[in-house]
Amino acid sequence: MKINKLSIVIETCILLCLTIFLIFDSFPNATNLQFISFGVTKWIICGLFLSSIIFFQKDDLNEVQSLKLLICLTLYFICLIGLLSLLGGQSSSGITFGNFEFWLVFILSIIEIWRYYKKTEKPSSLKFFLVTALFTLIIISFQFWNDHRERNLAELIRFNPHDFAYIGFTMNKIPENKTFEWITEKVKPANELIETIGMYRVIRITEKEYNKALSEEKFEFTISHKTMPESIVFGTRNYLHILPGNYYKVLNGPIKMEWIRSYSEKYRKQYQE
């Protein structure tokens, strides 16, 4: 079989770009990606993966070789997302196992795998369905376990200083006709807050358990970005609510509310809305 060196270079570049985009998407603080909208990034990632599937289909490969290649590409894409998540990454564009775009790409790749599988000798629809169902169950189970495992709070609060727009904070009652007690476009207060509360370890709980602490002293803040989705957090000494509906219990707390009050007062004097 003749090897096309140009094809190998192009295929390698596609996989390399896919890997780099996924890493930067999961760890946006590692680089400045302001030139790319994070809303576009997920479609670039999905496009690169689908391009790799299309480009890797060779006329000089038989059905079995093409099938193995497609399976390897799909497994690489899935394992890379899982690994980055285990390392503490949080997709800025939403490429996760619970995301619509991921499942769209996954279904398209399964359809393509089936197209080649049914051309092999003695294809079994039942076997293919069972293997696909088992693999899907593994992905869903991993996502559930990952969502409910012990995490650093810094991993869960979306914050990219390179894409930062503003931080709004409220410790006490919000002033009338205002959104926050204070707000600023300076990134220093956001850095200070994330560095301090990010060290706490948390684990996911139910909304019912979180509601038991609503009578405690509270604080809330919003970190907004230019292109990334914003982070909205409500917290007490022992519990946190990260919108849209994720509730957590602090394991190595309680959160030092004395520091929270001091932090809020310091910047309220400078940036009161």
* pLDDT tens by residue, 31-85: 555 445 555 666 677 677 777 666 665 555 567 777 888 888 888 889 988 998 8
Give the predicted TM-score (pTM) of the model.
0.74
C-beta of residue 48 within 8 angstroms of C-beta of residue 68: no
Average of per-residue pLDDT values in the chain: 82
Which of 1-10, 112-121, 231-240 shows the highest mean pLDDT?
231-240
pLDDT given for residue 2 in this prediction: 46
Supply the DSSP string of 54-120, one letter for each residue.
HHT--TTS-HHHHHHHHHHHHHHHHHHHHHHHHTT---SS--STT-HHHHHHHHHHHHHHHHHHTTS
pLDDT given for residue 1 in this prediction: 46
Which is nearest to 183 in space by CA: 196, 165, 201? 165
Q: Which range, of 11-20, 34-43, 123-132, 192-201, averages the lowest pLDDT?
A: 34-43
| Overall average pLDDT of the 206-222 stretch | 86
Distance CA 155, CA 128 (A): 37
* pLDDT tens by residue, 180-202: 899 999 999 999 999 999 899 99
3-state secondary structure at position 207: helix
User: Which residues are within 8 A (CB) of 250 and not within 5 positions of it... i.e. 6 or more apart?
Assistant: 153, 200, 201, 202, 237, 238, 239, 240
* pLDDT tens by residue, 138-149: 999 998 998 888
